[in-house]
Chains A and B, each alone.
Chain A
């Protein structure tokens, strides 16, 4: 194959330990930051609609559709805010809570917006960071459609329970519990299905 490479034994052991350590630390960092986000992020509950496929790497999961997954931008409503949006780029949506955990999109921008303080009725907007999938500016005059993902659309379930969950979900309302960090990054904490809260306990 390649040229014979002779690395001294002790160096080889050190290199092996280094590689293993680097990979472990990288993985542990992701686990830690996610755990922190779940513990300290602002918790919001949002109405969602489910679809069910399968992932070749990670098993069964349910795809959740959010109110900000597909956004209609009209000239008057959002102004020229859709200007900087392009597929593959970042998107920040400001969500306003309504009755019964029905959140709606209040504002869209390509950079982190100035946050609104608490409203008169005591509710507070939430800013979510996502990635634009597509921008359709020619759908209709004065109208732009934006599809985006926020990293919370997949909910992984134990093998074989995907269908069961889907069935439970088809007639009842389903809600997602999200944790939102200060930079708009969102993580899924769990689901509320038929009023029952399904949240995995913290890792440690």
Chain B
């Protein structure tokens, strides 16, 4: 997508004489080098996931034709073989293939935990096994600087938290320690998809707080945390203090969190008509601000988030009604008029900007 887009612009810019032919060639070269992990890389990661599932099923089958010690030895051998394969692949500069091998070994480590608990009928606390597993994945990911292993670590932190929270029916705060450890590794690696995983995991956790804390009615906390984080991210981005470069990502997930809290306040709780109207207006105002800011900073993800959020909010009001059908209609008409006025103002600002540019 991006490459095609740049290619199109490049032709235009070169035609206008803004970019020299040698400059265009350099840009194309850079684009070709920065092309993600490629199909082969994706397939190797998927293959490693499939093999890992094979190992897990082998453990789950509890095949008693094979002595327990031999089964354990087999898993240990697979674990070492995976890391050895990774070494060979890394030495040949096949980074992604090596990462796939590391991912496989980390999965075998998890399968070994399952096998041992099966062998000794350890029931105890199943989340403890997942806890040991994410630690193992994190250690491997950090020492070998392997992003897929780090991605698995975050997924496991979430599984571990979900299991603990399901058992206890209350907030499992140690999640934050695991989350922070894995997120620190992403920052160290400067891995962008990792920032998304971190954002998603933390958003889910914060949103769940609204349904668990205060007997399941703490959504204003979710909204507050989301808005405060969004505000911080905007300040960091505007003041140029975003040393991680992840502020736009943080902003997006903070908005998702705030929006989830606002939706819960409006439609999960049962507020009075006035409160509902106030919350709906505030939500729409927030989403308009998101769209405006996305437009201003050229953040397409934010822009889409704004559009999608706006659609969800509008549809939710339509189906849930603000009081009666008539007052819902009035609500939509008023909001519609306000947005129309905003559109006119935006157009005028845009024109004035163009005029100023021409006269100067």
A133 to B166, CA, bound (A): 11
- Inter-subunit contact B125/A151 (CB<8 Å): yes
**A9: which B residues are within 8 A, CB to CB?**
90-91
A5-B145, A18-B143, A158-B62 as given contacts; A58 in contact with B118, CB under 8 Å:
yes
CB interface residues, A 97-154, toward B, < 8 Å: 131, 133, 149-154
Separation in Å of the A154 CB from the closest CB of chain B? 4
Contact residues in A for B114 (Cβ distance below 8 Å): 57-58
Q: Is B343 an interface residue (CB 8 A)?
A: no
Which of the residues A5, A12, A24, A149 comes within 8 Å of B124, measured between beta carbons?
A: A149
Which segment, of B53-61, B221-229, B274-282, faces chain A? B53-61
Q: Is B83 an interface residue (CB 8 A)?
A: yes
Contact B83–A58 (Cβ < 8 Å): no
With contacts A26-B132, A27-B112 taken as known, whether A57 is within 8 angstroms of B145 at the C-beta atoms is: no
Interface centre among A2, A60, A61, A154, by most chain B C-beta atoms within 10 angstroms, is: A2
Partner of B118, one of A26, A38, A59: A59
Contact call B120/A188, Cβ cutoff below 8 A: yes
Which residue on A lies nearest to B90, using beta carbons? A12
CB-based nearest B residue for A24 = B76
Tell me how far the C-beta of A194 lies from the nearest C-beta in chain B, rounded to whole angstroms.
19
Whether A155 contacts B144 by the Cβ 8 Å rule is: no
**A residues near B189, Cβ cutoff 8 Å:** 2-3
Residue contact A15 to B143, C-beta cutoff 8 Å? yes
Number of A-B contacts (CB under 8 A): 140
Which residues of A, 20-63, contact B by the 8 Å Cβ criterion? 20, 22-24, 26-27, 30-31, 34, 38, 55-61
**Residue interface bits A187-204, CB-to-B below 8 A is 1, else 0:** 110000000000010011
Within 8 Å CB of A38, what residues of B?
120
Please tell me if B327 contacts chain A, counting CB pairs below 8 Å. no
Residues of B within 8 A of A150 (CB): 124
Cα distance A79–B69 when bound, in Å?
47
> In the complex the two chains form, is B190's CB within 8 Å of A87's CB?
no
Given contacts A22-B139, A55-B60, contact A149 B123 (CB under 8 A): yes
Give the residues in chain A near B61, CB-CB below 8 Å.
59, 159
User: Complex Cα distance A60/B61, Å?
Assistant: 8
Known A15-B144, A24-B76, A151-B125; judge A57-B116 contact (CB<8 A): no
A19 contacts B144, C-beta separation under 8 Å = yes
B81, closest chain A residue (CB): A20
Given A151-B124, A151-B125, A159-B63, A2 and B118 contact (CB-CB distance below 8 Å): no
A1 within 8 A of B: yes
The residue that A27 contacts in the complex, of B63, B69, B109, with Cβ under 8 A, is B109
Q: Is B283 an interface residue (CB 8 A)?
A: no
In contact, A60 and B87 (Cβ under 8 angstroms)? no
Q: Does A88 contact B (CB under 8 A)?
A: yes
With a 10 A CB-CB cut-off, give which of A16, A27, A59 has the most chain B CB atoms. Answer: A16
Which residues of chain B are within 8 angstroms of A154 by Cβ–Cβ distance? Answer: 121-123
The reply to whether the CB of A164 lies closer than 8 angstroms to some CB of chain B is: no
Docked-complex contact B168 and A87, CB < 8 angstroms: yes
State the CA gap A61–B36 with chains docked (Å). 44
Distance between B330 CB and nearest chain A CB, rounded to angstroms: 47
What string of 1s and 0s marks CB contacts (under 8 Å) between B99-116 and chain A?
A: 000000100010011111
User: Contacts A19-B83, A19-B139; is A204 near B120 (CB within 8 Å)?
Assistant: no
A5 to B95, CA, bound (A): 9
CA gap between A156 and B115 in the complex, in Å:
10
Q: Are B83 and A34 in contact (CB under 8 A)?
A: no
CA distance A105 to B219 in the complex (A): 43
Kindly list chain B residues whose C-beta atoms are within 8 Å of the C-beta of A15: 143-144
A174 to B: closest C-beta gap in Å: 14
**In the complex, residue of chain A having the shortest beta-carbon distance to the beta carbon of B59:** A58
**Given A31-B72, A58-B59, A58-B118, A131 and B36 touching (CB < 8 A)?**
no
Q: Does B167 contact A (CB under 8 A)?
A: yes
B117 within 8 A of A: yes
- CB-nearest residue of chain A to B82: A20
Q: Report how far A59 CA is from B58 CA in the complex, Å.
A: 9
Contact check, B120 vs A34: say whether CB atoms are below 8 A apart: yes
Q: Nearest-CB distance from B165 to chain A (Å)?
A: 11
User: Across the interface, which residues of B come within 8 angstroms of A12, CB to CB?
Assistant: 87, 90-91, 144
The answer to whether B79 and A24 have CB atoms under 8 Å apart is yes
**Docked CA distance A1–B96 (Å):** 9
Task: Verify if B68 is at the interface (C-beta below 8 Å from A).
Answer: yes
- Residues in B whose Cβ lies below 8 Å from that of A30: 113, 116
| Chain B positions 296-331 with a Cβ under 8 Å from a chain A Cβ | none
The reply to whether A1 and B37 contact each other, CB–CB distance below 8 Å, is yes
Q: Does B64 contact A (CB under 8 A)?
A: yes
A19 to B62, CA, bound (A): 27
**Sorted from nearest, which 8 A-B pairs have the closest CB atoms?**
A151-B124, A154-B123, A59-B60, A188-B121, A58-B118, A57-B114, A59-B62, A158-B64
A residues with a Cβ closer than 8 A to B are: 1-3, 5, 7, 9, 12-13, 15-20, 22-24, 26-27, 30-31, 34, 38, 55-61, 87-88, 131, 133, 149-159, 187-188, 200, 203-204
6 A–B pairs (Cβ distance < 8 Å), ordered by A = A2-B189, A15-B143, A24-B79, A30-B116, A88-B167, A158-B62
